[in-house]
Amino acid sequence: MVVPTIFGRRLREAREVRCWTQEELAKESGVPAAMISHFETGVRQRASAANLVKLAKALSVSVDYLLGRTGEADIRDDRVQATFRRLSDASAETIDQAVRVVDALLDRHTDEQK
């Protein structure tokens, strides 16, 4: 039975946070989608240094995070980007509603800071 390494699990997690397919990550990183699949499933246990750097850069995480040497990736900005990516396919009405909600939350946050 093949089991993913921490690298494979974190690679998948970082990719999914961005709502990317393996093909989209391959396009962004230059690492073949089949290789990404092999890393995520554990078929392939290790990546070359060059591929680690490409994947980390594309995913906006550190190599240390992918390898399990640090505990958490700062995905706050990536969540925002992923949300905006999802909104790009939404209707104009949905986008307007989302902007109103975000504006209201930011106004409330600003008021609380005063």
Tokens of 59: 């995913």
What's the number of CA atoms in the CB half-sphere (13 Å) around residue 37? 7
Class of domain 6-67: mainly alpha
Where do the structural domains in the chain lie, given as residue ranges?
6-67, 76-113
How do residues 55-67 score in pLDDT, each as one tens digit?
A: 998 998 888 889 9
- Rg, the chain, Cα only: 17
Sequential DSSP letters for 8-70: HHHHHHHHHHTT--HHHHHHHH-S-HHHHHHHHHTSS----HHHHHHHHHHHT--HHHHHTSS
Out of 21-35, 43-57, 65-79, give the one with best mean pLDDT.
21-35
Q: Which residue has the higher pLDDT, 114 or 95?
A: 95
pTM (2 decimals)? 0.65
CA–CA dist 25, 56 (Å, integer): 10
- Give the whole-angstrom CA distance, residue 31 versus residue 58: 10
Average pLDDT value for the chain:
87
